């Protein structure tokens, strides 16, 4: 497998041309299902497997699991800011530095799975209250220097969960 395939096992996210209620429901369902899928994919992993990188010079599976609630907490906050503020400038964070923190490198993944479960329950409850037009609200991402819609963020985070789940399942299947 080439490096690009290891980095992006399901491909990169592309926003579809049509964003409607059907697409919203699909993406919310994918976000809702992620914690259980991560839990099932990791429940029988050994310490050796958890400490295995999904690609050369990439994160370990343990770091990937810890990264998910870190990233998705930021997404949840960004959603709330965008709904409650006019075109907020979101605050980026250094995900690669967060992944190097001691608890992300060596901590029990159970704490992050529990966090992901609670976070996704709350996030999905919030997402289900939004109207289709709410997803056209925008925020500014200063790292990229451009505006994004909540529709784009919803799709991107549905993709993000599947992306990292594939890192885990593909790595396990190769051991």
Domain residue ranges in the chain = 20-173
Determine if the pTM surpasses 0.85.
yes
Q: Per residue of the chain (175 residues), what is the pLDDT tens digit? A: 688 899 999 999 999 999 999 999 999 999 999 999 999 999 999 999 999 999 999 999 999 999 999 999 999 999 999 999 999 999 999 999 999 999 999 999 999 999 999 999 999 999 999 999 999 999 999 999 999 999 999 999 999 999 999 999 999 988 7
For domain 20-173, say whether CATH 1.20.120.450 is its number: yes
Nearest CA to 158 among 55, 15, 39, 60? Answer: 15
Q: How far apart are the first and last CA of the chain?
A: 14
Q: What would the two tokens of residue 127 be? A: 């997402």
């Amino acid at each position: 497998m080439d490096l690009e395939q290891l980095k992006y096992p399901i491909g990169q996210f592309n926003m579809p041309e049509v964003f409607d209620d059907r697409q919203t429901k699909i993406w919310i369902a994918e976000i809702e299902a992620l914690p259980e899928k991560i839990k099932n994919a990791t429940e029988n992993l050994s310490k050796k497997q958890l400490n295995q990188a999904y690609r050369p010079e990439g994160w370990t599976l343990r770091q990937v699991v810890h990264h998910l609630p870190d990233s998705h907490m930021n997404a949840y906050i960004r959603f709330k800011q965008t709904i409650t503020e006019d075109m907020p400038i979101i605050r980026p964070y250094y995900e690669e530095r967060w992944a190097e923190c001691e608890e992300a490198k060596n901590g029990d993944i159970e704490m992050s799975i529990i966090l992901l479960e609670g976070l996704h329950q709350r996030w999905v409850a919030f997402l289900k209250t939004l109207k289709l037009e709410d997803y056209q609200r925008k925020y500014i991402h200063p790292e990229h220097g451009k505006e994004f819609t909540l529709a784009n963020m919803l799709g991107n985070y549905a993709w993000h969960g599947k992306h990292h789940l594939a890192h885990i399942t593909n790595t396990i299947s190769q051991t």
